[in-house]
């Protein structure tokens, strides 16, 4: 059986390495599913997704002149729905959103509170010298 680029085959995982998994295809040929072609998400360890003797469907990505076969499992999976790049979520679309002035006032209040806490903590770490001198 000849293996052609783009064809979908079923094979058995025969070995797992840190860079991918070897899959035995029909006809006894062996191809490699690179770690980047195992899943649609980040794969730290191939063993988290595959184990030896697993039956997997693979897509043939490449066959080079030396007979090396590049395979993919990821390309057979339905892609995860992605948000369009031009669609930006705007918080102002919420029903009970704050006006700009309200947001600004809230920011200023929070900022003042943080600044006063920071000053209080800094003075206490200095031994209260700043506060003691002012009292004189």
Domain boundary assignment for the chain? 7-76
- The residue among 60, 72, 3, 67 whose CA lies nearest residue 33 is 72
pTM: 0.57
The tens place of each residue's pLDDT in the chain, 136 residues long, gives: 678 899 999 999 999 999 999 999 998 999 999 999 999 999 999 999 999 999 999 999 999 999 899 999 999 887 666 656 565 555 555 545 778 888 989 999 999 988 988 888 887 776 655 555 555 5
The enclosing H or E element of 123 equals: helix 100-125
31 forms beta bridges with 23
CATH number of the domain located at residue range(s) 7-76 in this protein: 2.40.50.140
Q: Tokens 């029909």 appear where?
A: 26
């Amino acid at each position: 059986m000849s293996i052609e680029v783009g064809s979908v085959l079923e094979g058995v995982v025969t070995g797992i390495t840190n860079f991918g998994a070897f899959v035995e295809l029909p006809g006894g040929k062996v191809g490699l599913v690179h770690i980047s072609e195992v899943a649609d998400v980040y794969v730290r360890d191939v063993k988290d997704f595959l184990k030896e003797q697993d039956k997997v469907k693979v897509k043939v990505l490449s066959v080079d002149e030396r007979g090396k076969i590049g395979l993919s499992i990821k390309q057979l999976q339905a892609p995860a729905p992605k948000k369009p790049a031009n669609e930006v979520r705007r918080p102002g679309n919420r029903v009970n959103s704050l006006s700009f002035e309200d947001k600004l006032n809230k920011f200023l209040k929070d900022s003042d509170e943080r600044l006063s806490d920071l000053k209080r903590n800094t003075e206490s770490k200095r031994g209260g010298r700043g506060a003691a001198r002012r009292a004189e």
